[in-house]
Amino acid sequence: MGYSKLLKVICFFLHLASLPANAQSTQNPKTAATEGQTCVGCYKQNALGPKALDMLNNINEVVLSNKQDPTQHPAILAYSQNISVIRTINHALKHKKPSSEKLCYRYVKRALKAGGLVDEYLPGVPAKEGIKDLKGKGFINLLEDPRFKNQIKTTEDAPKGAILVYRNTKDSKHPGHIEIKTDWGQRGGYVSDFYRSTETTLYNRELIGVMIKENL
């Protein structure tokens, strides 16, 4: 019994002696991460397996992609720079009226057809149904798309040439509104049967669709 106690005491002291050395190896001051950051270097020095390291690297990639500017996405760039989109915007700007004639969807439909983004005049009557009509012509709603829905939430986030669809927040029977974004971010405005700058807000309207066409 006395011998085993002595062994335990020796083991305890040996463990204490090994602690500072371990602490130095786990915390490298040069690679320490600040609050909110993930320091891959720090973890690499730990005894983590390759699977755990892969997982950490994947987490870092997801965080980075969330911070990326969605307007730099190849699908969005390809749409916004396409000649049909430019033609659509130009047609809408050329034919707009000084103020709304309450025919936003009619003017947007004409522009889409003239620009070549759709092969025929869209069938729907209320603007809020534009989402369904445009989906039928190969458009996607960026507000619903898992690749973009966390990044595109407002009209300012919408890319150049996107078709923006709104519903009336007070009256469910109201046909809603639709318009085309004329440029990136705050540079452009919005055009339908009238033009409004980014400094004006639509009253009682909620954005329900940011539509673009992939593979143009």
Partner 1 sequence: MKKLFLFSVIAIQFLCSTAQTATLSEVLVRLKQYSVKDIEVTKNQPPKEVNKKVQRMLSDLEVSVELSLKEKNPPTEQMLKELVRVSVLTFKFDHSQAATELILPLYNKNQKAFEKAIRTLPKKEQEELRKSIKNTSREMIEGNG
Residue 153 tokens read as 């939430």
> Residue 175 interacts with partner 1 (CB under 8 A)?
yes
> Residue 150 interacts with partner 1 (CB under 8 A)?
no
CB-CB contact of 108 with 92 (8 Å): yes
CB atoms within 10 A of CB 210: 27
| Dist CA 94 CA 85 (whole Å) | 14
Of 65 and 204, the one with the shorter C-beta distance to partner 1 is: 204
| Dist CA 10 CA 27 (whole Å) | 27
Residues 55-114 that bind partner 1 (CB under 8 A): 98-106, 109
Of 70 and 209, the one with the shorter C-beta distance to partner 1 is: 209
Residues 110-149 that bind partner 1 (CB under 8 A): 122, 124-127, 129
**Angle of helix 104-115 versus helix 83-95 axis, rounded to 10:** 140
# of chain residues touching partner 1 (CB under 8 A): 31
> Residue 39 interacts with partner 1 (CB under 8 A)?
no
Of 46 and 99, the one with the shorter C-beta distance to partner 1 is: 99
CB of 167 to partner 1, least distance (A): 13
Residue that is written with structure tokens 């309450």 in the block: 102
| Dist CA 206 CA 5 (whole Å) | 75
CB of 126 to partner 1, least distance (A): 4
| Dist CA 169 CA 104 (whole Å) | 18
> Residue 197 interacts with partner 1 (CB under 8 A)?
yes
Binding-site ranges for partner 1 (CB under 8 A): 98-106, 109, 122, 124-127, 129, 173-175, 177-178, 194-197, 199-204
